[in-house]
Amino acid sequence: MSDFRTALGRARGMGSAKHGVGHFIGQRVSAVALLLLTLWGVASALSVAGGGYDGARAWLASPVNAAILGLLIIVGVYHAGLGMRTIIEDYIERPITKAALLILNAFVGWGAAALALVSILKVTFGAGS
């Protein structure tokens, strides 16, 4: 009675892909990290917003700020990518469209992360001692 598998699924008898737990745990661990990182981000935005170009460069020249901003970007893209993946898998039925959007999700997220990280490094290394 508690078997919700389709006839084909029962015949194949392969069960689940056994990969779901990784997504579940990764989503939650990154959520805890982002709780701290985003609150730091809000406080930083408040202190940087009024300072103009020179103020922002000086702020990012600090290795601590550069490192935490880099973490915020990396963990944020990871967490957002998992969430967007779930949304795509839930709502898009057509396999081709689904695959295309999943690939786009990965390209946009990690592309933005790469651009942001190199930018952060350029500013913080270019700032001198």
Partner 1 sequence: MADAPPVLRARPLSPHILQWRWHITMATSILHRVTGVGLYVGLLVLAGWALALASGPDIYGTYAGLLGSLIGKIVLFGVTVCLFFHIANGLRHLVWDFGKGLAPRTADITAWIALAFAAVAAVGVWILAGVTGALGA
Can residue 62 be called a binding residue for partner 1 (CB under 8 A)? no
Dist CA 69 CA 50 (whole Å):
18
Q: Which of 121, 113, 116, 23 is nearest to 75 (CA)?
A: 113
Beta-carbon contacts of residue 97 (< 8 Å; ≥ 6 apart) = none
For residue 10, with 0-12 CB atoms within 10 Å meaning exposed, 13-18 middle and 19 or more buried, which class applies? Answer: exposed
Minimum CB–partner distance for residue 23 and partner 1 (Å): 14
- Do the beta carbons of residue 117 and residue 127 sit within 8 Å? no
Q: Which candidate, 38, 112, 124, places its Cα nearest to that of 81? A: 112
Select 27 or 94, whichever has its Cβ closest to partner 1.
Answer: 27
Among 60, 65, 103, 106, indicate the residue that binds partner 1 (CB under 8 A): 60
CB 17 → partner 1: shortest distance, Å?
20
Q: Quick check: 35 binds partner 1 (CB under 8 A)?
A: yes
Residue 101 touches partner 1, criterion: CB under 8 A: no
CB of 19 to partner 1, least distance (A): 19
Residues within the interface to partner 1 (CB under 8 A): 4, 6-7, 28, 31-32, 35, 38-39, 41-42, 45-47, 49-50, 52-53, 56-57, 60, 69, 72-73, 76-77, 80, 83-84, 87, 108, 112-113, 115-116, 118-120, 122-123
